[in-house]
């Protein structure tokens, strides 16, 4: 396995342990299996990291409050600005990654000191006049058509991939940060067993990927919520389906589900991040109708 693939594997595993994100210490000194550490972002604060021992760029970093106009394009592709200064510089190795079709790590800053990694990301086009690269998070789109234009089918596919690999990881990280990486029902704190659940489903009206439409739930409570076995009232009260309350089974049913009835949801400290009561009301009506 190549060094960049090893680093990427460790980055993604570390992020999963944390709840989908890394902090700055992880980026500056990622722990390697042999006990050493490796830097995975530019120490000077730039967006392009070109380690001396690698032929092409290892990682890029994008930030909504940064100086560059990094953005998504219609059709699920991403634009990434050249490093400021000469057209060469650090951009040379990023262009080299395009020529060699080497995968990159992309770090998306989602909050102060919190970065969501995405891998693999490919450089698929270079526009020197605009001083921008075009990126894809889908290996199947590494080579663009000669016109640079995707068919409608390709666009829909790419947009779906971006939603799954860019938007949803960012949503999960923001929810985990808001809820301090714990289940809002049972307060389980094992990140790998936690999901960012939507109150109103992704793709539905008002189903935006915003923290106020999210809940941090362990996998069993996420599944129960999706199946209307657990409901959450607009006042943040937890309600267990009546038939489920009457069932007799083992300790998981008793302690994992039935004893959650009547609990109050653990909510974020910031008011803006707390579950939207209107969305909860709409979703709770669906729970009552299914019960």
Whether the pLDDT of residue 194 is over 70: the answer is yes
Fold of 3-174: PUA domain-like (2.30.280)
pLDDT digits (tens, 9 = 90+) for 130-169: 999 999 888 877 766 655 677 788 778 877 888 888 889 9
User: Which residues pair with residue 104 across a beta bridge?
Assistant: 121
Share of the chain above pLDDT 90, in %: 66
In the chain, where the domains are located? 3-174, 182-290
Residue 206 banded pLDDT, cuts 50, 70, 90: confident
| Distance of alpha carbon 108 from alpha carbon 156, whole angstroms | 23
What CA–CA distance (Å, rounded) separates 182 from 201? 21
Show the CA angle centred on residue 83, arms to residues 2 and 104, nearest 5°: 20
* Two structure tokens written together for 14: 């570390």
Position 230 pLDDT exceeds 80:
yes
pLDDT at 9: 96
pLDDT score recorded for residue 57 = 96
pLDDT in the model for residue 147: 58
Which residue in 9, 19, 289, 8 sits closest to 178, CA to CA?
19
CA angle 43–49–55, rounded 5-degree value:
135
**Quick one: pLDDT at residue 145?**
63
């Amino acid at each position: 396995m190549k060094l960049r693939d090893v680093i990427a594997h460790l980055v993604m595993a570390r992020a999963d342990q944390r709840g989908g994100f890394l902090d700055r210490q992880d980026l500056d000194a990622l722990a390697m299996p042999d006990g050493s550490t490796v830097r995975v972002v530019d120490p000077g604060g730039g967006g392009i990291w070109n380690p001396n021992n690698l032929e092409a760029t290892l990682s890029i970093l994008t930030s909504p409050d940064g100086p560059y106009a990094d953005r998504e394009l219609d059709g699920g592709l991403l634009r990434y600005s050249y490093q400021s200064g000469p057209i060469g510089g650090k951009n040379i190795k990023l262009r080299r990654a395009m020529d060699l079709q080497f995968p990159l790590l992309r770090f998306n800053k989602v909050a102060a000191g919190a970065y969501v990694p995405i891998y693999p990301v490919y450089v698929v086009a270079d526009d020197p006049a605009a001083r921008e690269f075009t990126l894809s998070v889908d290996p199947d789109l590494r080579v663009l058509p000669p016109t640079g234009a995707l068919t409608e089918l390709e666009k829909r596919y790419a947009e779906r991939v971006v939603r799954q690999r860019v938007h949803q990881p960012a949503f999960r990280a923001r929810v985990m940060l808001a809820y301090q990486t714990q289940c809002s029902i049972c307060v389980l704190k094992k990140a790998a067993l936690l999901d960012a659940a939507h109150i109103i489903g992704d793709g539905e009206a008002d189903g935006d990927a915003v923290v106020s439409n999210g809940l941090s739930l362990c996998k069993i409570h996420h599944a129960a919520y999706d199946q209307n076995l657990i409901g959450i009232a607009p006042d943040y009260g937890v309600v267990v389906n009546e038939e489920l309350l009457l069932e007799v089974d083992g300790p998981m049913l008793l302690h994992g589900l039935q004893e959650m009835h009547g609990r109050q949801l653990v909510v974020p400290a910031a008011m803006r991040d707390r579950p939207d009561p209107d969305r909860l009301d709409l979703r709770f009506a669906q729970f009552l109708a299914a019960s």
